[in-house]
Structure 1
Amino acid sequence: VGSPIAGRPHKDLEPILGMFVNTLALRARPEGGKPFVQYLQEVREMALEAYEHQDYPFEELVD
């Protein structure tokens, strides 16, 4: 799943007008017997870990 994320990681970009968006790639693997609450917790942890790498350009990830 791709989720849009604000693309203004540096303080010097704040005064510049325009849309700065990066796509954050998220991958989850649901399993049939897993309780929903456990799956939701795993997705939450995965998303928080992905935010640590939000500055990595999506285009490079695809390449």
Structure 2
Amino acid sequence: MASPKMLKLHEVLAEIDMSRAAFYRMRARGQAPRLRKLPNGQLRVSRADLDDWWENCGQSAA
């Protein structure tokens, strides 16, 4: 089984066209995709989590 695609935070921010500060404000409100911290301290977001988050954003706007 292949491991899930993990995106770097700057890749996520570029894809959703959002600043780091805005992302962290959303995260503080519990409205951002789940971040995972690697043992080396780097942050990642799984492709599946980001896709689910995008889908839920569209539903809440309707």
Largest Rg, 1 or 2: 1
Question: TM over 0.5, yes or no?
Answer: no
TM-score with structure 2 length normalisation? 0.33
